[in-house]
Structure 1
Amino acid sequence: MRRRRARLLCSLLLTVAAGAGAATTAEPSAASAAASAAAPTPLDRVVPAPASVRPGGGPYVIGPDTRIRVSGSVGSSRAARQVGDYLAGVLRPSTGYRLPVTARRGGDGIRLRLAPRAPGVRKLGAEGYRLEVNHRAITISARASAGLFHGVQTLRQLLPASIERTTRQPGPWRVSGGTITDEPRYAWRGAMLDVSRHFFTVDQIKRYVDQLALYKINKLHLHLSDDQGWRIAIDSWPRLATYGGSTQVGGGPGGFYTKADYREIVRYAASRELTVVPEIDMPGHTNAALASYAELNCDGIARPLYTGTDVGFSSLCVPQQVTYDFVDDVIRELAALTPGRYLHIGGDEAHSTSHADYVAFMDRVQPIVAKYGKTAVGWHQLTGAHPAKGAIAQYWGLDGSEKQVADAAKAGTRLILSPANRAYLDMKYDANTPLGLDWAGYVEAKQSYDWDPGAYIKDAPASSVLGVEAPLWSETISTSAHIEYLAFPRLPGIAELGWSPRATHDWDTYKVRLAAQGPRWDALGITYYRSPQVPWPAR
């Protein structure tokens, strides 16, 4: 699917922080601090672009007496309080203010309101919000906690970038006056992290989750199994993790998530309004499983562990009943750990599985997913079989010309768009990029942003598009700095395509808003690529 033949970079590159062009964390200069104090950020300068902006009034200044006031019905007040506590945790270190969170009604300050019947809010969906700023208060209103949380992310971007620092900063903390009314274009705005080729710890995933939340991403797709490693504990098949998870690309130690680890990832992601979508890739990309249990192989001989990057050589034994006992156990245990609706069954690059066997396998596995209360997601090769009713296909091709994908969409299969030459974050920016692959070509910041998900698949109805996702495969990356270098600045562009109205998509205006994110990433310690296509502010 993503590599044709992945060309692994030498181990030296895997220890490079992020190579030439990477950003480094630096304290803001006096000039930049003065500039930020000169005028608050305009309401339309955020990423993703809001659906509606009406400037006017204000500004509001966060000061030592500011309180964060939360309100909601009896059933929703706790959710509002959690968002208030989150916001206070962001603002307190840099402002040095107490910013108490209170449910006491009335008064000025920062107001977080769960108010599904409020004017201007009741027509918004579960992720929409309304942000109103005048000289007395900042008020964020939403129907549900997700909308309130997304409104808080917008508020962060309206404050100076130094608000993100963990030490006290001089301020002032002014927010432009006016009203933002906002809701997403698409329900699915995802990011995938491949933890199979290189293992990433729970803390590394949490760090990425925090970065995804900044841009209103709402799905965390974890690629939990592949040829190089099995990363989730399955009690009924324990060697999958203890043996199949014992290595990674290049022969490193690998690792796996205990069930407690996975639950913590799910909990943390949910606290940032992200749903975890676990993936067990099959019937191909299964060497780690085939190495762990001999009986999963048609010849009864366990395969050796694999640390390379070639693809398409492994396959579960489709005719054997034990294969489906195995799949049933894995899906049952994983579904029980996963509160979200979705379970990804892979299905790509099954080159060692005949077409007839592939169709037979998918016909048996999709009902197992449904049996355990989940909706099946598969890579777009699933459309070459018989997608079950309600199944979702994730497109990773290059130009949207695949007829079988369009035909499936016309028949009711929903689509997630991840075109590899647009949305794959593991593609190199250019020939000199020290990390990443190039089988889908070089993907600079403009190319990753300058396309329309609603019209990308030829002849597919626009209504079939469920959303977008930015996958990050890990053949060449092994640290958080590597993740960040390949994700930023491209990830925010994919997030904007998923959130913002089509009419707002314009590279020339977007790149200015994107450039304004640079100082924020500096403040957060994010290692990013300073694309020459983006007019970054001078340091």
Structure 2
Amino acid sequence: MRVLRRTLGTLLALGALGVCVSCTPARGDAGPDDGRPGGPRPAALGPYERLVPAPASARADGPGYLFGAGTVIRTGADASEEVRRVGELLAEQLRGPSGLPLPVVDGQDGDGIRLLLDGAAEGTGEEGYRLRTDPTGITLTARTPTGLFHAGQTLRQLLPVRGTGTVPGGTVTDAPRFAYRGAMVDVARHFFPLEQVERYVDQLARYKVNTLHVHLTDDQGWRLAVDSWPKLAEYGGGSEVGGGPGGHWTKEEYRELVAYAAERYVDVVPEIDMPGHVNAAQASYAELNCDGKAPERYTGIKVGFSSLCVGDELTYRFIDEVLGELAELTPGKYLHIGGDEAHSTPAADYAAFMDRAQQVVARHGKTVVAWHQLATARPAPGAVLQYWGHDRTAAAEKAAVVAAGKAGHPVILSPADRAYLDMKYDATTKPGLAWAGYVPVERSYSWDPGSYLAGLPESAVLGVEAPLWTETIANRGDWELMAFPRVLGLAELGWSPKSALGWDGYARRLAAQGPRLDAQDIAYHRAPDVPWGE
């Protein structure tokens, strides 16, 4: 029975990578792996079967295209400036691994990699694409430049990790399941320079993640310069967990991050946490405290002890000026205002504060995102809730989120015991925490966002997000160890059709990504339940 369950699970999970575009049968090319030393091993996966996230449909068919010295990228004689930019970025991404010149030229006539906008492309939607390979080249077709970019990332996985080679003939037709596919970085607990965050943006965009949520402020540090309240960054930015020097980004650095992400079709969602998690701000300005006394800067990891002064009008001038400057810097539609763990704010005060904070966001032309505790107050029309509960979260708390979702509030799912990248893999993991339990790679992947919260319709799920909190993470190595490979699975949960999800099949496709992670010098966790090197 164990062999049968494993084999059936593999076939079902890889069914979406079958042999026809209109249906998704199992490949039927792999024998069972019963886990015994010397037992039968599955056949090696072909290039179209290794893709992460799994596409809506893929089929290998006919002779392929030799990607080599003569390859050019063609953007079309009448291509827009944005399509040409997508072509130039794809060329840049492919030149390093291949060593090829890959010139970008106008016109579609001739061999090569062709980028084609087609507003009538079936099965692609706003972010999807079609990729077709034959002996004359590889044609990437999409309704939008966003789709062309995603097609290019799929092409990167079909090409050799290093050098040149033949891409087998075939077709991929693909579109995302959920609109919001995010990852969060916490630069407040430990400060990170722009270069590390931009590196992460590149890594995320490879796997079709389209949102970067940046947690900019907390008790331990304030990480963005604000002209109207300069001491927030100058003083409040000068601390971090463990007593390090902290730091902050200038406005120009933040603009650079937003632009860098946008070039890769990743939207930045900034977060200013309130009314709790505000010790860094209160240490910077005594007048933000109800007693007029500034506390010391904080370098521990406790939560829930700080609160803005809800009854003071200065509080609302403060958030209006801060959020106003942030809105001006952020072209995306969302501003995240936190709202979690406000243990020092009485419930009535919390609701009154969130009413006014949401009004401030609306005045600046943005849509509110807040942690799911907003469901216990009065979410403004259209406000987005981000759920971070877990298996042990109280039923009443979950029910409030479900009720809000049914009332029209989109929900982003970030369950802490599945999606929190700072949770330890197991007892041997050095960085990370375990308050939500250990989260091995299989557990992180093995859940369905569409049915995760009982009673919440899939139509209310905006998408998924993988947060990385940094209480114990202070360097790039620990960041990447905790994020990878789990963030790849969460990217797949956000993109791939439900029919493609299944651990056995995903584990094999994830293993095939190992050489690509190695080539990027990513210090990923080699989970023992993933068949690396198969």
Relative to the length of structure 1, the TM-score reads 0.89
The equivalent residue for 1:385 is 377
Q: Pick from 50, 65, 71 the counterpart of residue 66 of structure 1.
A: 71
3-state SS in 2 of match to 1:94: helix
2:286 matched residue in structure 1:
294
> CA shift at 1:161, angstroms?
2.0
- Aligned twin of 2:150: 150
Identify the residue that residue 118 of structure 2 maps to in structure 1.
115
Secondary structure at 2:154 match in 1: helix
The residue aligned with 2:51 is: 46
Query: Cα offset for 1:93?
Result: 2.7
Question: Partner letter of residue 207 of structure 1?
Answer: R
1:425 aligns with 2:421: yes
Whether the 8 Å contact between 2:77 and 2:107 is mirrored in structure 1 is: no
Further displaced range: 76-85 or 471-480: 76-85
Residues 224-245 of structure 1: per-residue CA shift (max 9 Å, x gap)? 0000000011100000000000
Secondary structure at 1:378's aligned position in 2? Answer: strand
CA deviations 1:69-107 (Å, max 9, x no partner) are 01275xx52111111111211222332222110013311
CA contact (8 A) 2:186 2:468 kept: yes
Question: CA–CA distance in 2 between the matches of 1:327 and 1:189?
Answer: 28
Summarize the Cα distance change of 1:363–1:474 in structure 2 as closer, same or farther, 3 Å threshold.
same
Question: Aligned ranges for residues 75-224 of structure 1 at < 5 Å?
Answer: 77-117=80-120, 121-122=121-122, 124-162=124-162, 171-224=163-216
Pick the aligned partner of 1:357 from 349, 356, 376: 349
Count of matched residue pairs? 488
- Per-residue CA distance 1:430-454 (angstroms, 9 max, x = gap): 0000110000000001000000111
On the 8 A contact 2:97/2:161 being kept in 1, the answer is: no
Q: C-alpha deviations, 1:479-501, integer Å up to 9, x for none?
A: 12111100111000000000000
Relative distance call for 1:39 and 1:284 in structure 2 (3 A) is closer
Aligned to 1:6: none
**Conservation of the 8 A alpha-carbon contact between 2:431 and 2:472:** yes
Task: Work out whether residues 129 and 174 of structure 2, in 8 Å CA contact, stay in contact via their aligned partners in 1.
Answer: yes
Residues 278, 306 of structure 2: 8 Å contact kept: yes
Structure 1 residue aligned with 2:469: 473
Q: 2:226 aligns with which of 227, 234, 238?
A: 234
Pair 1:265-2:257 in alignment: yes
Structure 1 match to 2:61? 56
The structure showing larger relative contact order (alpha-carbon pairs under 8 Å, at least 6 residues apart) is 1
Matches within 5 A, 1:313-462: 313-399=305-391, 401=395, 402-462=398-458
Deviation at 1:476, TM superposition (A): 0.7
Assess if the C-alpha contact under 8 Å between 1:40 and 1:176 holds in 2. no
Contact residue 426 and residue 473 of structure 1 kept, 8 A: yes
Q: Secondary structure at the match of 2:49?
A: coil
**C-alpha distance in structure 2 between counterparts of 1:279 and 1:174, whole Å:** 45
Report Cα offsets for 1:414-436 as digits up to 9, x if no partner: 10000000000000000000110
Q: 1:288 offset after TM fit, Å?
A: 0.4
Task: Name which of structure 1's ranges 523-532 and 52-61 shifts more when overlaid on structure 2.
Answer: 52-61
- Deviations 1:284-330, CA, capped at 9 Å, x for gaps: 00000010111110001111100000000000000000000000001
Deviations 1:340-365 (A, max 9, x none): 00000000000000000000000111
Following the alignment from structure 1 to structure 2, what is the Cα–Cα distance between the partners of residues 291 and 98? Answer: 54
Contact preservation (8 Å) 1:190, 1:469: yes
Q: Which residue number corresponds to residue 516 of structure 2?
A: 520
Q: Quick one: structure 1 residues 123 and 91, their matched pair in 2 at CA, closer, same or farther if it must change by over 3 Å?
A: closer
Percentage identity across aligned positions? 61
Deviation of the 1:123 alpha carbon: 5.0
Distance in 2 (alpha carbons) for counterparts of 1:405 and 1:222: 23
2:12 alignment counterpart: none
Q: How far apart, CA to CA, are the structure 2 residues paired with 1:94 and 1:354?
A: 56
**SS in structure 1 opposite 2:185?**
strand
Contact 1:77–1:114 at 8 Å: present in 2 too?
A: no
Counterpart Cα distance in 2 of 1:142 and 1:517: 25
Relative to structure 1, is the Cα distance of residues 72 and 308 closer, same or farther in structure 2, using a 3 angstrom cutoff?
Answer: farther
- C-alpha contact (below 8 Å) 1:41/1:160 kept by paired residues: no
* Alpha-carbon RMSD: 1.4
What's the secondary structure of 1:247's corresponding residue?
Answer: coil
Question: Which structure 1 residue ranges, 4+ long, deviate > 3 Å from structure 2?
Answer: 38-41
Instruction: Give the deviation of 1:135 after TM superposition.
Output: 1.2
Letter in 2 for 1:160: P
How much has 1:147 moved relative to structure 2?
0.7
Choose from 248, 266, 270 the match for 1:274. 266
Q: Distance in 2 between matches of 1:42 and 1:122?
A: 23
Q: Distance in 2 between matches of 1:47 and 1:268?
A: 23
After superposition, residues 20-39 of structure 1 pair within 5 angstroms as none
Query: Once the two structures are superposed, what CA deviation does each residue of 1:35-75 show, in whole Å capped at 9, x if it has no partner?
Result: xxx999431320000001122013111111111001275xx
Distance in 2 separating the partners of 1:172 and 1:209: 26
Q: Is the 8 A contact 1:233 1:258 kept in 2?
A: yes
1:130 touches 1:179 (CA, 8 Å); kept in 2? yes
User: Separation in 1 of the partners of 2:122 and 2:326?
Assistant: 36
Q: Is the 8 A contact 1:40 1:158 kept in 2?
A: no
Q: In structure 2, what is the Cα distance between the partners aligned to 1:269 and 1:363? A: 31
> Does structure 2 conserve the Cα–Cα contact (< 8 Å) formed by 1:72 and 1:115?
no
Assess, with a 3 A threshold, how the Cα gap between structure 1 residues 124 and 435 changes in structure 2: closer, same or farther: same
